[in-house]
Structure 1
Amino acid sequence: MMNKTTYVAGICLLGSMLTGCGGSNEFTPVSGMDGVDIYANACSSCHGENGSGKFGFLLKLAGSEETTDQIVGKIRNGGHIMPAFPNIDTQQAKLVADYLKSL
């Protein structure tokens, strides 16, 4: 069983590994950007290059079983620790979702 000190240290370590994620919610795509470019600018700092996850496992998206609509919903509305990206419209979010589903 994990003692309290180990648990607190683990939570602190996880928090430090995720530092910087969630701050890009003001990103606004330039007109005509494709899903790959939007992902690279708004998502890759937390979800890794090509959806591989931060440090190879945290926040991994590649191979996700989520539907396109579920991904669009998370981009637009946020998730547990993921902020909403209100400046990415539904069509742009669908481009990102389609890119992620292709990984």
Structure 2
Amino acid sequence: MIEGFAHMTMRWMLGLLVLILSLSACGSKPSKPNDTQVAAVKADGPKIYQNFCISCHGNQLQGAQGPNIQKVGERLTEEEIIKRIQKGGGGMPPFQVALKEDELKALAAWLAELKQW
């Protein structure tokens, strides 16, 4: 009888330990990307542009079938650029299925930096 009680207590304590450890992970903040990681993502912007955008917006972002987007960062925020790429509009098809989330963010971050200096 005592052995059964000890075994049950041990299982209960192990279960409690697992619960405590799993709850301690809840609410932890994801780490912020460092400058190198951010630069690497932004560096992908031109490559993604070439793969998905160049046929309509031109090799110099000058516009062709689509509008000139050489200074798009002056008109739209990064969030607005993301929405436009995802949803399309004004003759532009939506790309939310074609682009992965990290590709979308890299492209939008790069385009948002395009401003007149």
- Which is further off, 89-98 or 35-44? 89-98
Cα distance in 2, alignment partners of residues 50 and 69 from structure 1: 23
Other-structure match for 2:109: 98
Q: Does 1:71 align with 2:95?
A: no
Asked if the contact 1:76–1:90 (Cα under 8 Å) also holds between the matched residues in 2, the reply is no
Percent sequence identity over aligned pairs: 33
Other-structure match for 2:70: 62
Segments of 5+ residues of structure 2 without an aligned counterpart are 1-40
Asked if the contact 2:81–2:112 (Cα under 8 Å) also holds between the matched residues in 1, the reply is no
1:35 positional shift: 1.4
- Listed one character per residue, the Cα deviations across residues 31-65 of structure 1 (whole Å, up to 9, x for unaligned) are x992111101110111112322118xx51111121
Between structures 1 and 2, the one with greater helix share: 2
Asked if the contact 1:62–1:101 (Cα under 8 Å) also holds between the matched residues in 2, the reply is no
The amino acid that maps onto 2:47 is D
Higher relative contact order (CA 8 A, sep 6+): 1
Please tell me whether Structure 1 or Structure 2 has the larger radius of gyration of its CA atoms: 2
Give 3-state SS (helix, strand or coil) of 1:62's partner. Answer: coil
In the alignment of these two chains, the number of paired residues is 70
Written as runs of structure 1 = structure 2, the 5 A alignment for 1:1-103 is 34-54=44-64, 59-64=67-72, 65-85=75-95, 86-103=97-114
